[in-house]
Amino acid sequence: MQELKTEEYHLIPISGNRFKIIVHSFYFQRDDARKISGCYFSGKQQNWVMPQTDKSLEQFLKLFSGKPKDISREESLELARKKAIKDYSDQLTLKRYSKSTIIIYKDKIVRFLEFYKLEDPREITDDDIKDYMLMLLKTKKISYSSQKQVISAIKFYYEKVLGRETKKYFFEMPRKRKQTLPVVLTKKELILFFIQLNSIKKLALFKTIYSSGLRLSELVNLKISDLDSEMMLINVRGGKGMKDRVTILSDDLLILLRNYYKQYLPQIWMFESTEGKQYTPRAIQKMFHKAFEKTKISKHATVHTLRHTFATHLLENGEDVRRIQKLLGHNNLKTTEIYTHITSEAIRNISSPLDNLLEKKKNDDKNV
C-alpha cells in the first residue's frame, strides 16, 4: 500500500504491513490510539503504528471528524512537550524516585525539551542529544556533577518513558574527576558563623545539620517524630538511596530544639516555613549564604560544608572512622576516609623536614 499524506496526517508504510502514523493537525494521544484496532506505540519507530487494514484506516480517519483542524504546529508541539513532561514525572513517581531526585531530573528534562521546542520530543535524534551536551559543556560550562545529572535525566526519559536504547558514547558518565578535598570549617570559624544567625530557628536548623551530619535533603524531610530524646538519636528516613539510618542527637541541640519548639510550634516537620510547609532546599541555602557572607571567611562554603565539618571534627576528637561512616550513611568506607586527609590534629603531629633541617643547623652552630 502506498503512503497517505494530507495537511493533517502522514501514514508511512513500514515492514509488517503497518503504517507509521505522523499527525500534524492535532497531537495524537493514547486515547486516540485505543480507538484504532491493533494500534500501538513503537519504541523502534518512536511513533504510533497501526495495521494496514481497511478497518484500521477507517477508524483512523474517523478521529479527524471531531478534531480541530486549525491548531498550529507550535501549539501541537507545546501539547507534545507537556505530555512528555507529564509522562516523565509519572514514571519517576512510579519508580519511587526521591522527591529531590524528581525535582532535579524534571528541571533537566524541561530545559532539554525547551532547547528543542521546535521538535516533537519523540523525534529528537541521538545527534541532537549529542549537540545539546556539547552546548552545555562548551557554552554553559556546566560542572562535572551537573553533566552527570543531565545524562541521567535524558537517559531516563528515552529508556524508561520512550523505551529507546541509549548506548551512544555521549550517554556514558564522564571521566571521574580527581578526588578533591571537601571544604571544612575550623571550630573558631564555625562559632563565628553561628553568631551571625539572627533567630533561634536558624540557629537550631544549622546546628542540627552540624551536630548530626545531616544532608540538606534529610534536614528538609526531618519530622518532629524522627527525634528520639530518650535514646538521644535522630532517625533519618529515606536518605540518599532511599535508605534509613540513625545518627546522634546532641544534648545541647536537644535543649536548643525544645526552646525553638516552644517559640515556633511546628506541626509536622521539624523546621517549617511561616505557612507551615516544608522549607525548600533553596530557601535554606539562601539563609546559609546570607549569614556566611557576614563572617568574611574566604572559604567557599555551602550548607553541605557543615556535614563535612561534622565528620572532620569527630575524627579530630578521636572517633573511629567506621562509626563515622555509619553516622553519615556512606556505603563505602573510602568515601568517609577522605576526611582523614584533612584533620588538623593528624597533620599537626607531622614535623616538616624544614624544621628538622633548621634544628640540625642550630645544633651544628652550637658545636662550632
Query: Which listed residue (240, 245, 264, 279) is catalytic?
Result: 240
Strand partners, 247: 234
Angle between helices 126-135 and 99-115 (to 10 degrees): 100
Determine whether 177 is an active site residue: no
Determine whether 169 is an active site residue: no
Report the alpha-carbon distance of residue 342 to residue 311 in Å, rounded: 10
- Please classify residue 124 by burial: count the beta carbons closer than 10 Å to its beta carbon, then call 0-12 exposed, 13-18 middle and 19+ buried: buried
Q: Which of 88, 103, 104, 286 is nearest to 205 (CA)?
A: 286
Report the alpha-carbon distance of residue 14 to residue 169 in Å, rounded: 29
CA 254, 256, 259 angle in degrees (round to 5)? 110
Determine whether 215 is an active site residue: yes
Determine whether 339 is an active site residue: yes
Determine whether 187 is an active site residue: no
Sheet strands (E) in the chain: 4-5, 9-14, 18-23, 40-42, 47-51, 227-228, 233-236, 245-248
Q: Report helix, strand or coil for 13.
A: strand
Query: Which listed residue (106, 111, 201, 330) is catalytic?
Result: 330
Place of cell 575524627: 315
Task: Give the chain's largest Cα–Cα span.
Answer: 112
Query: Which listed residue (81, 122, 307, 313) is catalytic?
Result: 307
Determine whether 300 is an active site residue: no
Which triple of cell numbers denotes residue 246?
540513625
Return the active site residues.
Answer: 215, 240, 304, 307, 330, 339
